[in-house]
């Protein structure tokens, strides 16, 4: 597990995928989105917030490359959400 402990961009990308992927799976195959006010996008917003907390943690630990990987996955996830869901800004 040394791979995830070091300051590694690829590790940040993998870690940054966890919460958006979990939100996608929960939205797709469970009724959790309905429990949060019938708004499936709310799970994706919560996933983005968790990723931003991870970014803050990584920056405080001095792991800037890992934080950049998480930021990249959060940004790509938001762009995919805008294009796939047709969210109007």
How confident is the model over 20-64, as pLDDT tens digits? 999 888 887 777 656 666 666 778 888 999 999 999 999 999 999
Query: From CA 11, how far away is CA 6, in angstroms rounded?
Result: 8
Show the domain range for 18: 2-85
Tell me if 13 sits within 8 A of 73, measured CB to CB. Answer: yes
pLDDT score of 2: 57
Q: How many domains does the chain have?
A: 1
Tell me if 22 sits within 8 A of 34, measured CB to CB. Answer: no
Full-model pTM: 0.81
pLDDT score of 26: 83
């Amino acid at each position: 597990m040394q791979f995830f402990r070091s300051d590694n961009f690829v590790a940040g990308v993998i870690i940054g995928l966890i919460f958006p992927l979990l939100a996608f799976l929960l939205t797709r195959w469970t009724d959790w989105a309905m429990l949060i006010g019938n708004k499936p996008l709310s799970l994706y917003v919560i996933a983005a917030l968790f990723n931003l907390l991870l970014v803050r943690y990584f920056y405080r630990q001095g792991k800037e490359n890992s934080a950049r990987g998480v930021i990249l996955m959060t940004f790509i996830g938001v762009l995919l959400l805008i294009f796939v869901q047709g969210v109007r800004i």
